[in-house]
Structure 1
Amino acid sequence: MEQNKQLNLLSFSTTNRKVQWIEENNSLQEYLSILDPLKPIAIDIEGDSLHHYPEKLCVISLCQEGFLAVVDCLKGDLSSLWKMLSGCEWICHGMDYDLKMLRRAGCPQPQKIFDTHIAAKLCGFDSVGYADLVSLFFQVKLSKEHQKADWSRRPLPLSLVHYTAKDVLYLEKLKDILSKLLKSLGRSEWMEQSCERIRRKIEKSLSKPPYKDPERIEGFQKLDPFGQSILLEIQRWRQELALSKGIPPFKIIRTEDLIQISSISSQGESVLKIPAVKQLEKSIRYSLLQAIEKGKQNGPHKEPLVSKPFYFMDKESSKRFEELKNKRNKIASSLGLDPGLIASKALLSEMAMDPKTIRQRLIENDKLCPWQAELLGL
């Protein structure tokens, strides 16, 4: 692709905007020189999690006061970009994935984050997707045709550069609109607390493996102890195989199939009748059977890897749970918010089980913000 190619891009007004495709360090320095590190910058990233494993950070889309760029992350030195990004506020939509990928790629923590997804929720909007908000406020319909694209392709097609640039094009305007709405509703502090809580949670998660703990897989708790032990082993088998082949784990075998395999194996039945197992290559199928056998030999699973999200409640706790749930629902209705935004059922269960020390513990563990605790009277 031609270096520094300028691409026409439809904007949210009658003014045309251009986006710069940056592959070389000189081009990156030139772009960074026109940015103000003291002003917020819209940011979005694309990885290749649907195509490769472990996933890579492939491109970063940036926009500040209309200056658009898409940076190739598979080439060159990004240290100067990291330095600039560490000193300013980020505007993003759904910070979880983007921040986690950027931190793992070497980017320091930003000074502050404004997540338009969180802001829209706190404003009480029902549809809070980026495309939904762009359609609502700018009457622009964004295409979703490239959601499953392989962003590690090089040269990157111009259509993909156009596509990803639009993911940041409207973020600055969205921040302005949503900030004013939050201020008028008296929820600006809620916004700051919510973004900070998620940012801290993401930072803590960086020390954990970048794949899902088996106990957090839906269906794990329904398995008997032998089935759980088998799942732990075949999850490890799939992880190692995915790494060796460089493909996402789900392309080897789906998680729901692992649950079925674990359940059937724990009952002493053959897994060869399962369609997903039949479709595996002979050598892979054989290694799966070995992993199942190893899981059986490990004996029943005893100690939990992570704390369970739900609790068995006695009569008094059940009563407190219902009272908290009714209180939460009433507050949510009066504020025009989704009840789950104030507190999930799992959190309500924890509150009901431990009403005396729960506020401090939930806030310290980044499960709850002070504004949520205050609404619930904790």
Structure 2
Amino acid sequence: MAEYDVIADGPGLIDAARVLADGTGPVAVDVERASGFRYSQRAYLVQVFRRGAGVFLFDPPAIGDMSALQSAIGDEKWILHAASQDLPSLRELHLDPPSLFDTELASRLLGHERVGLGAVVEDTLGITLAKAHSAADWSTRPLPQPWLEYAALDVLHLVDVYDALVVELAEQGKTEFAEQEFETVRTRPDKPAREDPWRRLSGLHTVRGRRALAVARSLWQAREDFAREQDTAPGRLVPDRSLVAAVLADPATKQDLSRVREFTGRASRTQLDRWWAAIEAGRSDPVLPVERVPGDGMPPVRAWADRNPAADARLKAARPLVEQLAADLRMPTENLLTPDTLRRIAWMPPSDIDEASIGDALADHGARPWQVDLTAPVIARAFVDSVHPPAGASGDAS
């Protein structure tokens, strides 16, 4: 087993950056977080590989300023696997690729059945990677040597994978598709915070009444504040199901809350005053949440036949054609066009049903030019046929 050292100070970073700058070709980059253990999504390890330079492992919390790394590789193409997961953590460190190649996304576009990093490395290079530490707590210090080897292997073979996938994309005529997708991922803004994040509590659907929802909201916020303070994943303090159990139990006193058997978690009793205060705050909150949040204007597809028969006919006519086109292109349907985009176009199409107007509508919903070019003619034809079935059609477009 190879031995790897972690660079944990500024001088070490500068020395490594100098070596990386002298390397050749694109740069493989990966990030390890402590999801499920820590509150934040910060990077606790950044791995970098470049031919002619080797593998380097960086400890961002210990180093602090990572600008020397950005200066060293900031003009090169970065290769990442599932880039959308790592870019927010990298940007938090002011590490930003000028261009990127996403090996997971490329594998999807190529129709690979398995797109996890280990599977892609195995399918393209015939090398098997052990994934034993994928769910490890990367905030641990010092990091065990087997973990470091695992982390290094995540980037060690990525440039070779890139080379293989570039060839495969060219053979399938998908190079331009991939480049547009990569640039979309690279430039896409980070998702804004949800307006009511507490509504994602698992089991919240069992809570009835606006006052009870106010208590659930208050408990969620109290847990969130404590988790941020402790830099601990909220669910490790008190699981969602425990917060919901406390709401459903409707305890009359703090002692009653302590006797709720389902109210578990390592902070459920040590922070009992905190949770009881949250319950009381929720019970007295003058601003009650609505029971149902207004939707986006589209009912569930199963209701379309009654609510909007024309939209239902359009969707039923277009969906199988888009799915067949994706199959012909050997890629998942959602990579050709997201189901949500097709639903929105079917529910509220442009006034003129033709290829150009459908293309404009698709672009307005975020479809890339290659997706518009391929799907607009198919969707436009399907929408027209849903109103005026072609001669000889059975009339059943589902």
TM-score, normalization by structure 2 = 0.76
Out of 191, 197, 222, the position equivalent to 1:213 is: 197
Which AA in structure 1 matches 2:290?
H
Which AA in structure 2 matches 1:73?
P
Match of 1:112 in 2: 99
In structure 2, how many angstroms separate the alpha carbons of the residues matched to 1:225 and 1:317? 34
1:347 matches 2:341:
yes
Which AA in structure 1 matches 2:237?
I
**3-state DSSP class of the match of 1:70?**
strand
The answer to whether the Cα contact below 8 Å between 1:233 and 1:292 also exists between their aligned partners in 2 is yes
Match of 2:182 in 1: 195
Match of 1:137 in 2: 124
In structure 1, how many angstroms separate the alpha carbons of the residues matched to 2:316 and 2:259? 45
The answer to whether the Cα contact below 8 Å between 1:32 and 1:81 also exists between their aligned partners in 2 is yes
Out of 289, 301, 304, the position equivalent to 2:290 is: 301
In structure 2, how many angstroms separate the alpha carbons of the residues matched to 1:210 and 1:84? 36
The answer to whether the Cα contact below 8 Å between 1:229 and 1:301 also exists between their aligned partners in 2 is no
The answer to whether the Cα contact below 8 Å between 1:253 and 1:276 also exists between their aligned partners in 2 is no
**Cα distance change on mapping 1:99 and 1:210 into 2, 3 Å:** farther
Structure-to-structure mapping, 1:1-378, within 5 angstroms: 9=2, 21-36=6-21, 39-65=25-51, 67-76=54-63, 77-107=65-95, 109-201=96-188, 203-205=189-191, 208-209=192-193, 213-215=197-199, 226=210, 229-255=214-240, 257-258=242-243, 275-278=261-264, 281-282=268-269, 284-295=271-282, 297=285, 298-301=287-290, 304=293, 307=296, 313=304, 314-356=308-350, 360=360, 363=363, 366=366, 368-377=367-376
* 1:77-134 C-alpha deviation (Å, 9 max, x unpaired): 4221122333221101011221110111222x31111000000000000101100111
In structure 1, how many angstroms separate the alpha carbons of the residues matched to 2:235 and 2:62? 28
The answer to whether the Cα contact below 8 Å between 2:70 and 2:94 also exists between their aligned partners in 1 is yes
Moved more, 213-222 or 115-124: 213-222
In structure 1, how many angstroms separate the alpha carbons of the residues matched to 2:358 and 2:205? 24
TM-score, normalization by structure 1 = 0.80
In structure 1, how many angstroms separate the alpha carbons of the residues matched to 2:34 and 2:230? 15
**Cα distance change on mapping 1:192 and 1:224 into 2, 3 Å:** farther
* 1:196-233 C-alpha deviation (Å, 9 max, x unpaired): 222233x343xx34999345667768876726555443
**3-state DSSP class of the match of 2:160?**
helix
**Cα distance change on mapping 1:159 and 1:211 into 2, 3 Å:** farther
CA-atom RMSD in angstroms? 3.4
Which AA in structure 2 matches 1:248?
A
Q: Percent identity?
A: 23
| Structure 1 residue 40: Cα displacement | 1.4
Which AA in structure 2 matches 1:233?
S
| Structure 1 residue 358: Cα displacement | 7.2
Higher-Rg member (1/2): 2
Structure 2: stretches of 5+ with no match in the other structure: 251-255, 351-356, 380-398
* 1:292-347 C-alpha deviation (Å, 9 max, x unpaired): 45445432427959958866742111222222211221112212222222233332
**Residue-pair matches, total:** 354
**Cα distance change on mapping 1:365 and 1:29 into 2, 3 Å:** farther
